[in-house]
Amino acid sequence: MDLIEIAHQLVAPSKGILAADESLPTIKKRFDKIGIKSTPVTRHSWRELLFSTREIEKYISGVILFEETLQDKSLVDLLLNKNIIVGIKVDAGKKSMPTSKNEVITEGLNDLKERLPKYKKLGAQFTKWRAVYTIAEGLPSHEAIYENANLLGRFAILSQEAGMVPIVEPEVLMDGSHDISTCAKVTERVLKVVFEELGNYKVNLKGMLLKPNMVLPGEDSAEKASPQKIAKETARVMSATVPKEVSGLVFLSGGQSADEATKHLSAINALGGTPPWELSFSFGRALQSTAMKIWKGDPKNLKFAQEEFLKRCRLNSEARFKR
């Protein structure tokens, strides 16, 4: 398959992407909440529970993995046997910017060109790189917006040159007390610069996907926006910034609850009209968290946790078809 075919398959009707690429510190935090230790065995057990769930292939087109999981052939084979496309998170996390201590840039570009063929050999057909932007007084800075966009552009072209579809993830964080209009302005600024850089690096927009945040008030904001308001603001910002050539938008869930993420995805798809891109999802916590609480590391809970996980996949699949 070429890049455009892979991109189209990832946003196929009724399907979305499972983000199961939690780094070791992140999955430790999730496991701490349910009272189990994060070890290679428990991480394998959890991901095996997800990937072996019957019929997820009806709702899930691709799964983003962490490097440890990609190297576990038994887990990769579970996905490939269901014709689910395998992807890999390729960034190496965040580091503080020398010029702005309250902001971060993403690491991992130095050896990316060497790593990509190894990932492809292990079965990965797409990649993901996340940049994060904080809203606060005077933030995000001009430097943070441009440096992260430049890294996203370089990541995307390196991925395409290696024959892999890049998922470009510029996430404006929910942290803070800002209102929805501030989030809209910042997201618009960020996306404009991201697409400038993708253009500068001659990235094939048809052979990539964008993983944007929804436009939301900050989690500590006094403003409570309705799903319809969130959908309208999100659609307006995307229409103003995302070229029609992009194959699809796979929204991230960020700090939203499972129910909120699904409601908002549904509202975005219920707006009507004919957007030029597929409007899908690439959720992590919003697909996994409720099932993880049921599982709690106990094999006796496996069947019930899988039922809950399948339900979350189905509900988000249905949310794509509210037009």
* The residue type at 69: T
Q: Is the dihedral of CA 66, 70, 74, 78 positive or negative?
A: positive
CA distance 290 to 3: 34
CA distance 15 to 18: 10
Considering 89, 128, 211, 263, which one is annotated as catalytic?
211
Determine contact, residues 66/86, Cβ cutoff 8 Å.
Answer: no
- Contact in structure between 18 and 309 (CB atoms under 8 Å): no
Closest CA to 128 of 23, 223, 231: 23
Ordered alpha helix ranges (H), the chain: 3-10, 24-33, 40-51, 67-70, 73-80, 112-121, 142-161, 180-200, 227-241, 258-269, 285-295, 302-319
309 residue type, one letter: F
Within 10 angstroms of residue 300's Cβ, the number of other Cβ atoms is 8
In the annotation, is 169 catalytic?
yes
Q: What are the C-alpha distances in Å from 16 to residues 61, 157, 319? A: 6, 23, 10
**How many Cβ atoms sit within 10 Å of the Cβ of residue 224?**
8
Sign of the Cα torsion 163, 6, 266, 294 reads: negative
Residue 143 among the catalytic residues:
no
Catalytic residue among 147, 169, 197, 308: 169
Question: What does the alpha-carbon distance between residue 292 and residue 306 come to, in Å, rounded to a whole number?
Answer: 9
Bond prior to 25 in cis (omega within 30° of 0):
no
Please list the active-site residues.
Answer: 169, 211
